[in-house]
Amino acid sequence: MAVYEVRQGTSPVILGFPHTGTHVPSSIWERLNDNGRILADTDWHIHELYEGLLPDATTVRATFHRYVIDANRDPEGVSLYPGQNTTGLVPETDFDGVPIWKDGEGPTEANIAERLRAFHAPYHGALAAQIARVKAIHGVAVLYDCHSIRSHIPFLFEGKLPDFNIGTDMGQTCARAIERSAVEIAAKADGYSHVLNGRFKGGWTTRHYGRPQQGVHAIQMELAQSTHLTAEAPPFALDVAKAERLRRHLRNILEAIEAKAFDLQRTGSEA
């Protein structure tokens, strides 16, 4: 199976999907315990949720599961949130802190190095190539990194997560106009909650590529899975009615971000 899927578009917006893949090579699958084989920490249905919302957007999707290696973690293994519970480059546990590997079958340093080469690097090579291509066309590129997570995970955060979790690493990864457009639409979405740079401030992808001074903007959207799943538990089924309601707001966000990107293209501004 190919490590990633790319669909090229003509918009300045690129959608990244690092965590929707469920492929686990058999040699790795055999090392996962029963809990790990649930693949609970998948961003379930997220690539389907965004399908067709911005028809001219480029999409780059990892097909491998984050338990193989996490495409949204620093390849050097540096923690995204020092001092807070999180999962690493190759997770030892799920988001509840429960082990996912059989005893003695956790990844070794050699395993991690091989998975970086075989999975992480190719995905980011494809993503970087599309960012460069789009920027060459428009003079600006906006990476919108698509994520989801269960709304209640005591191991990672207290209480209930807001529905829209927008991350820009405290405003460092994109122009303020792009950040504002996402926040304003999320704030107007009736029946939904939102936060900017709350528990999730943007993962490694957002922080690595977001260089607004160089014309490359990045923003992360972490959706609470309660907004689109029937239940945040196996089989993690998509609730079609919830999804259609949510898709209207996501379309508005993407269209507003695209409009801001065209504004930046015309003005050459970074703000």
pLDDT in tens, 224-248: 999 999 999 999 999 999 999 999 9
Is the Cβ–Cβ distance between 230 and 202 less than 8 Å? no
Cβ count within 10 A of residue 245? 16
Task: Output the pLDDT for position 269.
Answer: 54
DSSP character string of 12-28: SEEEEESS---B--HHH
Task: Output the pLDDT for position 154.
Answer: 92
**Averaged over 162-191, what is the pLDDT?**
98
Assign 259 a pLDDT band (cuts: 50, 70, 90).
Answer: very high
Assign 265 a pLDDT band (cuts: 50, 70, 90).
Answer: confident
User: Would you say residue 79 has pLDDT above 80?
Assistant: no
Task: Output the pLDDT for position 266.
Answer: 83
Q: How far is Cα 13 from Cα 208, in angstroms, rounded to an integer? A: 17
**Averaged over 149-163, what is the pLDDT?**
94
Query: Is pTM, for the whole model, over 0.85?
Result: yes
Class of residue 236 by CB neighbours under 10 A (exposed 0-12, middle 13-18, buried 19+)? middle
**Averaged over 22-41, what is the pLDDT?**
98
Q: Which of 70-84, 133-147, 185-199 has the lowest mean pLDDT?
A: 70-84
**Token code pair at residue 196:** 């900017």
Assign 61 a pLDDT band (cuts: 50, 70, 90).
Answer: very high
Identify any residues that bridge with 220 across adjacent strands, giving them in sequence order. Answer: 145, 167
Q: Which residue has the tokens 């994520």?
A: 147
Task: Output the pLDDT for position 242.
Answer: 98
Those residues with Cβ within 8 angstroms of residue 212's Cβ, 6 or more apart along the chain or in another chain: 173, 174, 175, 270
